[in-house]
Structure 1
Amino acid sequence: MAQPIKEIITEMIQPFLDNEGFELVDVEYVKEGNNRFLRVYVDKEGGIDIDDCGRISEVLSEKLDEKDPIPDAYFLEVSSPGAERPLKKLSDYERAVEKNVFVTTYEPIDGAKEFEGKLLSFDGDTLVIQTPRKKASVPYAKVASARLAIVF
């Protein structure tokens, strides 16, 4: 079976990112309308800027040209994950403790599938979220998606 594009791109760019102090947040390869997009989300302590994105894009473009792992035409986008950054890895959840999060689950927990509030704790198995109404314990295994949430 062919290796998924996300894995291929991760293997290509991870050594450069590690060496330069960047964190690979996510890789997406999606079709929107008639176009395909390869999106690479990168961050670093203190955030990234347009120059960082440009540098990473150049390095990745060279590697993609060398190996040509994607047969279709596509647009390459390198960017910050933004203020409402997705939580993908265990370390993302650990860093999000004491921050506001928005979490959706695969199935209802105490009658709800969406939880927004302050992430009080995460032990690797359970997220404890203080919502406006109550404290919710959400099993990590039931999390469908999660991101940081901006409170206005």
Structure 2
Amino acid sequence: MARIEERLVTMIEPAVAALGFELWGVEFVRAGKHSTLRVYIDHDNGIGVDDCADVSHQVSALLDVEDPINSEYYLEVSSPGMERPFFSAAQMNDYLGETAVVELTMAQQNRRKFKAVIKAVDGDAVEFEVEGESMKVNYSTVKKAHLVPQLN
């Protein structure tokens, strides 16, 4: 996770938790005046539009006071959704046996972007099964990863 996102998580997480939600993750996408701060929240009972609005109001007020971002940006608050992005190895623990799309910062075993089954998580290490082969990666080498929804 980038440094700004780490600072934002530390800043935002208590406010999100106080409202009864889990902070799933934070993404800051730089695009000049059109930069976007995405805050993903989760709850055992799911997330509704009113939940997003409540968190958005709270987080927006906090960011106005703390002012951690030196440029203009849009704030988006949403659930992680069916294609849930992963922000840590620990988050993958609940999805063992499911398929994810993973992009690494550098190629490993001649793969940089691949679809794989999440087999095991041990600390920061994640074991995937890619085309029948085992592949272990340190989560710090994961650029992006998200769940592939299972539609039945």
Alpha-carbon separation, structure 1, partners of 2:22 and 2:50? 16
Q: Which residue of 2 aligns with 1:23?
A: 22
AA of the residue aligned to 1:23: E
Q: Which residue of 1 aligns with 2:137?
A: 139
Structure 2 unaligned spans of 5+: none
Give the SS at the match of 1:86: coil
- Give the C-alpha shift of residue 54 in structure 1: 0.2
**8 Å CA contact retained: 1:109, 1:138:** no
Give the SS at the match of 2:57: helix
Structure 1 unaligned spans of 5+: none
User: Normalising by the residue count of structure 2, what TM-score does the alignment of the two structures yield?
Assistant: 0.78
Q: Which residue of 1 aligns with 2:68?
A: 69
Alpha-carbon separation, structure 1, partners of 2:69 and 2:106? 35
**8 Å CA contact retained: 1:101, 1:116:** yes
Give CA deviations for 1:19-61 in whole Å, capped at 9, x if unaligned: 3332222223333364222221211224211111000011112
Alpha-carbon separation, structure 2, partners of 1:100 and 1:94? 12
Whichever of the two has the greater Rg, that structure is 1
**8 Å CA contact retained: 2:89, 2:121:** no
- Point out 4+ residue stretches in structure 1 off by more than 4 angstroms: none
Alpha-carbon separation, structure 2, partners of 1:41 and 1:64? 16
Q: Which residue of 2 aligns with 1:94?
A: 93
RMSD of aligned Cα (Å): 2.5
- Give the C-alpha shift of residue 8 in structure 1: 4.2
Give CA deviations for 1:75-119 in whole Å, capped at 9, x if unaligned: 211112221112112321212212211122334333322331321
| Number of residue-to-residue matches in the alignment | 148
Give the SS at the match of 1:60: helix
- Give the C-alpha shift of residue 5 in structure 1: 4.0
**8 Å CA contact retained: 2:104, 2:112:** yes
Higher mean displacement: 11-20 or 53-62? 11-20
Q: Which residue of 1 aligns with 2:40?
A: 41
